[in-house]
Structure 1
Amino acid sequence: MIRTESLDRASQSTGQIIASSLTPGVYELRARLFAAAGGTGTELGTTSQVLDFCGTGSNTVNANTSFGTSAQSVRINPTSLTLKEQAVRRIVSTVWAADGSARFVTPGSISFTSSATGTATVSAAGVVTGVNAGTANITTTWAEGPLSGSMGVTVEDLVITRTKWTVLVYINAANDLFQASDLNVNQMERVANNPDVRFVVQWKQSRDQFPSSSFDGVRRYLVKYDTTGNIASELVQNNMVNGLGQPLDMGDPQTLNDFITWGKANYPADRYCLVVWNHGNGWKRSNLEEGGTRGFSYDDEYGTSIQTWEIDEALGSNVFDILAWDASLMQMVEVAYEARNRARYVVGSEESPPADGYPYDAVFDGFRDNPDAPTADLTLGFVEAMVNHPPYATRKITQSVIDTSRLPALATAVDILAANLIAQEANLQTIAPLIRANAQAYSPNSTRVYRDLIDICTRLNAEAGTPAPVKAAATNVITAANNAIIHEGHNNQSAGSRGVSIDFMGKDLYPSLRPDYERLKWAADTRWNEWLAVAP
């Protein structure tokens, strides 16, 4: 949605709304008529029409509406439609009066039907889906007329080819990161010149929330090679909506799951990388002091996000070669362990990286140049690109790669450490708070106590008063963590980082977070939650 405005006028009087500085393109104007001022009272009617701003001349389009006038026709825009199998397009039905105005009609009085649902289906909101190659007619009916109109739909075969890599990028930019999304897609375009490495993007922006966004709604792109500053990629699906005709909620785990299913079906590959692009908050919801309930993939249009314990729901039964978090604070053992059965390698940052996120051209140039290289070798590109990116030299940068097959051993080591910490809790009354205060921290505040796991254990070993059993267990954790972390890089702004963080909160904070923490697989399989419950 670009703009919402109320025009209050008495019956039979006229008025106008002027929308200026619109980007050239095709827009839908939706109008609703109410009995009282300010959009209140009974809703008397609704109408939608398509406006074409071609970008030439004065770029002015007049859109007139009327109520109670004599209806002449009902027509669908566009007048015909060609789409691929599985593609989705939205159509608009308008009842036109004899004077050329769009007539208000009773809400719910317009319907759609398809003559061949095996070829194309249409929802009550006018969403057409290509099912199988062929032709169909879509008919719209205005029940109060009654009047009807139709359009032809041609569905073409979807030609599917297999490549060496498909990189699925889930860009939820319906938030304050929207500007970085254009930059990142441009970076992908610069390295999209190897046909064996495809970038497939689901991308959302919301002009309702952020008017300066470059577009509005949810789109799917097949990224195409381009070195300009423009987005030159192939728009595969546009204006993707739910059954109610509203933009998809990209803070819903099912929306991510649907994108993955669609992407793998239409762009199969020998190997897959999934990049989740957005804000992140580590394992937990937003800070209690911020009043939110966000985890990762924040959709500000709906106030939603995906929680860490919903990773299985979001990723389904898929197993990715690489799961990369282009989001803050996500390289935690709690998060990686949750995803261990869904990805062979988990890539991410312990820190909160800059808003521009991954420099995608630098991250993926190795994929483009050598797509047959071992996956573990290619993941090094994430680390080197972040650490060596000149604009990030003065920012806190961390990046690491975890081999998930080695996480069970790390979980066992941490479980034993937790048992020893619990047993020695009385002897750690000053040591635990000291380590909490001095270990490498990540965006710390009163409710976020994320610390580097290896740094915690190194400091436990360095304290003279740490009981011997705790030191022995900490040493084993360091060994297991180093085995699991196959690549790691950081700059001097985050000098104590070693590749994976853990929540190191104390018993005063834990009760408020216990219900969520105990949803995690990490809490089910280790005694770390039991340690947090008693930690000084």
Structure 2
Amino acid sequence: MRKSFRVFLCSGLVLAAVAGFFLLSCSKDDGGDDNNSGTAQWTIMMYGAGNNNLDVSNNNTSFIIQDAQDMEKVGSQAGMNIVAMVASMRTGGQAKVYHIEQHTAELPDSLSSPWIDKGSKDMSDPATLREFINYCKANYPAQKYLLVVDDHGAGWPGSCSDEMNGGGGMLTMPELKSAIAQSDLQHVDIVTFHACLMAMAEVAYELRSVASYMTACQFTMPMQNILGADLWLGWLKDNTGASPADLAHKIAEKVRVAAENKQKTSHYAMIDLSQMQTLSARVGTFSNVLVTEGGQHWNEVQHAWSQTHATQYDNPAYCDLREFANKILAEPTLSTINLVRNAANDIISGINGAVPYTATYFYPPDQPMPRGGLNIHFPSQLAQFDSSNYVTLEFRATNWHAFLSTFLRAGGTQPEQGRCCYNNNASCAVNTQAECAQLGGNWTQGIDCNTPCQQATTCPAACAQAVQISVGQTITQCTFTAQATENWFYVTLNPGTFRFQLGNFPNGADYDCYTFLQCSDYPNSPTTCRGDAVGPEDFTCTVQNSPVQVLVLINAYQAPYGGYAFLISQTGVLPDGGDEPTIAIR
């Protein structure tokens, strides 16, 4: 059953202030193909847009640099150049272009490959990407080119968020297309997105004239580098004559292997862009017949949408196109209308042709959720439909935007009801997920209060038993008795800025506060929303766009041990007209 879930990771928790340092090699690169073999078979171009929170989210080190380090595990080889442009938020947006050599023992945030300094660059500016592509062509010519776009992604709105030099703006899909088309290459063989939500019909259609293949993910990707560059580059160095189709397929395979190795839920697909004209034409037919032939059975269109699966890894305004077509075929009346049935079957066969490989890994692997390889924008509420920007895409030609307008004017779908357990599971209500989030509750689809809320331990010591707390609720009942003791809570945070306070523990003690998005992220992948200073903690975090459920860990790092007080309050929201909640920090 489809549900409207939070979209985290790409637009979730952002730490208000960060600290850290950046270790770089001081060797310079004079450019040129160092393989001494003439024009290489492949040039790999990594565009690492690190001017955002990805630059500090790997335990205050950079995921973007870690991806480049994975490339260094293989390094440029005979017949294969690897070039990486890496920008860092912590150096004022400064960008360096590295000729990636083999270095297998890098410290965090360290790259030993030779580089040239490009100065401060707006990585969301298509001119920056175009300049990088031109540099690669001039200095590392090859018969085939792979462009890796490594950063945040939002699907059809774009990728490459630059919070230093671009004001937080993104590189839109028309801009990405123009950067390639107006470069000296004009066309690349593969575009690989190590970014959330980019496996969309709209994205693939936009890029069909500037690339042959695309590899991308339908989910929000885990806060962990699963690009697996060392895996597929290791294969490529032994197979430099590989075709673009072979390499694109291998990249998609190895991303799934990397996700499984790191026990991170993810999806990845290979898309043949030469098939996108055919598929998009079928989307146009499908969208039209759903309106003209399905108008008398609009409830079945809405029902088919509601039956498509969605998880916490999906954007609630996106829908797996193949599954939606299959759900249309399962409707009692629509499935008997020849035009609708034929159009739906054409969508399925079109996706099968456009997506040679798609794979999903779920951790834990007990509830697999296959994906067809391509999402499509399919909001259920007008607030989710940015029509003015959506119609700037070339996908406008499919007329899917007109179908969405009709769907939304007809009321979209009614939010599903479920059980809401709140007030530490002491209270229960039947409401929508959004209404439950307002209560700070835990929402379960498809059941009501006849199934009682499970009473949780007051101060659980394991993530799996985390107890619910609410914004504005002060926790004072828990006590630590030994080092490394833990207490786990979870809280739902709506968009806004939140203050985390931890104090009132024994003098000389040191307790820390960390947050995680899922238990499998513990202990290595906390979010950047955390406090691990010596003594009391007092920090703020911001939630963007959508509500997010956060796991909170309170850890006894240093004696003496005893009780503590912990409070999360929303800044600027004053209870009963009074002051912002606070605890006496000492």
| TM-score, with structure 1 as normaliser | 0.63
Give 1:396 deviation, angstroms: 2.8
Deviations along 1:87-146, whole A, 9 cap, x unmatched? xxxxxxxxxxxxxxxxxxxxxxxxxxxxxxxxxxxxxxxxxxxxxxxxxxxxxxxxxxxx
Q: What are the superposed Cα offsets for residues 354-385 of structure 1, whole Å, 9 maximum, x if unpaired?
A: 23240210132221111112221222222221
Aligned runs of 1:223-242 on 2, under 5 Å? 223-230=100-107, 231-238=110-117, 240-241=118-119
Aligned to 2:377: 503
Match of 1:272 in 2: 145
1:250 matched to which residue of 2?
Answer: 123
The match for 2:386 among 513, 523, 528 is: 513
2:386 counterpart SS class: helix
The correspondence of residues 139-288 of structure 1 with structure 2, limited to 5 A, is 161-178=38-55, 179-192=62-75, 194-207=77-90, 217-230=94-107, 231-238=110-117, 240-241=118-119, 247-284=120-157
Query: How far did 1:304 drift?
Result: 2.3
Whole-angstrom CA distance in 2 between matches of 1:21 and 1:422: 55
Please tell me whether residue 483 in structure 1 is matched to residue 360 in structure 2: no
DSSP-derived class of the 1:250 partner: coil
- Asked if structure 2 preserves the Cα contact closer than 8 Å seen for 1:298 and 1:305, the reply is yes
Which residues in structure 2 correspond to 1:356-395 (within 5 Å)? 356-389=225-258, 394-395=263-264
How far off its partner does 1:181 sit? 1.7
What is the CA deviation profile of residues 284-312 of structure 1, one whole-angstrom value per residue up to 9, with x for unaligned ones? 2xxxxxxxxxx310111032221122222
Amino acid at match of 1:395: K
The whole-number CA distance in structure 1 between the counterparts of 2:48 and 2:71 is 12
Q: Deviations over 1:366-413 (max 9, x none)?
A: 211111122212222222212222656653311111111111110111
CA contact (8 A) 2:152 2:195 kept: yes
Please name the residue that 1:474 is paired with. 344
8 Å CA contact 2:148, 2:194 repeated in 1: yes
Is 1:530 matched up with 2:402?
Answer: yes
The aligned counterpart of 1:350 is 218
Q: 1:305 is matched by which residue type in structure 2?
A: M
SS at match of 1:207: helix
TM-superposed deviation, 1:478? 0.4
In structure 2, give the amino acid aligned to 1:440.
H
| Aligned ranges 1:73-112 → 2 under 5 Å | 84=30
* 2:115 aligned partner, one-letter code: V
Partner secondary structure for residue 86 of structure 2: strand
Query: What is the CA–CA distance in structure 2 between the aligned matches of 1:477 and 1:271, rounded to whole Å?
Result: 31
- The SS at the match of 2:46 is strand
Shift in alpha-carbon separation, 1:466–1:507, aligned structure 2, 3 A: farther
1:494 positional shift = 5.5
1:350/1:494 CA distance change after superposition, 3 Å: farther
1:299-448 equivalences under 5 Å are 299-301=162-164, 302-317=167-182, 318-355=186-223, 356-389=225-258, 394-441=263-310, 448=316
Q: How many residues align?
A: 368
Deviation at 1:323, TM superposition (A): 0.6
| Aligned 8 A contact 1:168 1:273 in 2 | yes
Identical aligned residues as a percent? 25
Q: Against the structure 1 CA distance between its residues 194 and 208, is the aligned structure 2 distance closer, same or farther, given a 3 Å change threshold?
A: closer
Mapped contact 2:103–2:113 kept (Cα < 8 A) = no
CA offset digits 1:129-180 (Å, max 9, x no partner) = xxxxxxxxxxxxxxxxxxxxxxxxxxxxxx9952110000000111111221
Distance across 2 between alignment mates of 1:175 and 1:363: 26
Residue number among 150, 160, 170 corresponding to 1:297 in the alignment: 160
Structure 1 residues 228-264: Cα deviation after superposition (integer angstroms, max 9, x where no partner): 12445433312x23xxxxx111111111111111111
The 8 Å contact of residues 164 and 196 in structure 1, kept in 2 or not, is answered as yes
Contact 1:296 1:327 in 2 (8 A): yes
Question: For the residues of structure 1 that align with 2:24 and 2:344, how far apart are their CA atoms?
Answer: 61
User: 2:87 touches 2:123 (CA, 8 Å); kept in 1?
Assistant: yes
Q: Is the 8 A contact 1:329 1:351 kept in 2?
A: yes
Distance 1:166 1:22 in 2: 30
Q: CA–CA distance in 1 between the matches of 2:333 and 2:160? A: 43
Structure 1, unpaired ranges of 5+: 1-19, 27-53, 55-81, 87-158, 210-215, 242-246, 285-294
Higher normalized contact order (CA 8 Å, seq sep 6+, divided by chain length): 2
Are the equivalent residues in 1 in contact too, given 2:31–2:139 (CA < 8 A)?
no
Task: Find the residue that maps to 1:324 and give its secondary structure.
Answer: strand
Tell me if structure 2 keeps the 8 A contact 1:251–1:297: yes
What CA distance in whole angstroms lies between the structure 2 residues aligned with 1:22 and 1:253?
28
- Residue 466 of structure 1: how far off its partner (Å): 1.6
Q: Which residue identity lines up with residue 518 of structure 1 in the other structure?
A: V
Partner-residue secondary structure (3-state), 1:388: helix
C-alpha change, 1:378 and 1:208, in structure 2 (3 Å) is closer
Q: Which runs of 5+ in 2 are unaligned?
A: 1-18, 56-61, 413-586
